């Protein structure tokens, strides 16, 4: 059984249907990418999975529980973390406090401390800046902090929304390296990305979205050589 199984998902913003009956799945240990142009519905899907946007129809089964019927704040303790679009870090709190909030639902102090060390290992820069107010970090550092904050919940699956957005090429490569590391450590990854080339190079499988529908799916290695994908998303 798939770890995350989305069936016939439909989402509306008012009368406009943003997601028109989408089905996809993510297996344990995979890196799955959702790619597509602006407005295709990629972010909406992630928001619906973690309950920030309500679904109209369909089901989102995560290890046997339907997330559509689960309040948003209960999802993280089930083992699913979400690094949202635009990072949405707590600007007025320190780096350390942001990371602390990432472990909000956890109670075991020793394990939280171990997670903090793990996050600092992935992102040494965050350790250097732990007392700095998060809003004063650079864009790349904010992205690292958002990812670190998600890791603090000790997730088994992590949803990432446009981790490369607004970052310099150097930072983009660094962020993608870290995503690979996180995946190697056994965390399943569902990633939404406009930088199709980059994301297909680290993903196992991918789904291509167009205006709320999946138009193509397959192994990342195949999609990267697919002519229509090349033309539409890789700029070749």
Confirm or reject binding of residue 105 to other proteins (CB under 8 A). Answer: yes
Element at 178 (helix H, strand E): helix 169-184
Q: Which of 2, 37, 61, 93 binds other proteins (CB under 8 A)?
A: 93
Q: What are the C-alpha distances in Å from 77 to residues 57, 72, 106, 118?
A: 24, 10, 8, 19
CB 7 within 8 A of CB 58: yes
Binders of other proteins in range 32-91 (CB under 8 A): 50-52, 71-77, 81-82, 84, 88-91
Q: Which of 102, 140, 163, 212 binds other proteins (CB under 8 A)?
A: 102
Q: For residues 50 and 195, which CB has a smaller minimum distance to other proteins in the complex? A: 50
Confirm or reject binding of residue 101 to other proteins (CB under 8 A). Answer: yes
Q: For residues 69 and 74, which CB has a smaller minimum distance to other proteins in the complex? A: 74
Beta strands 31-36 and 188-193 are parallel
CA 81, 84, 90, 94: dihedral to nearest 10 degrees? 60
Beta strands 4-13 and 57-62 are antiparallel
Stretch that binds other proteins, among 21-29, 97-105, 165-173, 219-227 (CB under 8 A): 97-105
Binders of other proteins in range 138-157 (CB under 8 A): 149, 153
CB 40 within 8 A of CB 193: no
Confirm or reject binding of residue 133 to other proteins (CB under 8 A). Answer: no
Residues that bind other proteins (CB under 8 A): 50-52, 71-77, 81-82, 84, 88-93, 97, 100-102, 104-105, 149, 153
């Amino acid at each position: 059984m798939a770890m995350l199984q989305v069936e016939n998902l439909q989402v509306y913003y008012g009368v406009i249907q943003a997601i028109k009956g989408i089905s996809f799945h993510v297996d344990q240990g995979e890196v799955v990418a959702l790619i597509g142009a602006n407005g295709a519905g990629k972010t909406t899907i992630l928001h619906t999975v973690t309950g920030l946007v309500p679904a109209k129809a369909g089901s989102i089964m995560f290890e046997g529980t339907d997330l559509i019927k689960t309040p948003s704040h209960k999802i993280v303790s089930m083992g699913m973390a979400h690094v949202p679009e635009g990072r949405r870090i707590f600007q007025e709190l320190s780096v350390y406090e942001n990371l602390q909030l990432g472990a909000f639902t956890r109670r075991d102090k020793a394990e939280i401390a171990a997670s903090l060390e793990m996050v600092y290992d992935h992102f040494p820069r965050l350790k250097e800046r732990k007392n700095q107010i998060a809003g004063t970090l650079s864009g790349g550092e904010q992205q690292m902090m958002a990812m670190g904050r998600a890791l603090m919940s000790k997730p088994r699956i992590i949803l990432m929304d446009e981790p490369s957005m607004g970052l310099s090429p150097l930072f983009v490569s660094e962020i993608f390296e870290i995503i690979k590391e996180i995946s190697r450590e056994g965390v399943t990854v569902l990633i939404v990305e406009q930088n199709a080339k980059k994301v297909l190079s680290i993903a196992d499988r991918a789904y291509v979205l167009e205006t709320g529908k999946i138009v193509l799916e397959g192994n990342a290695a195949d999609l990267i050589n697919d002519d229509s994908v090349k033309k539409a998303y890789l700029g070749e």
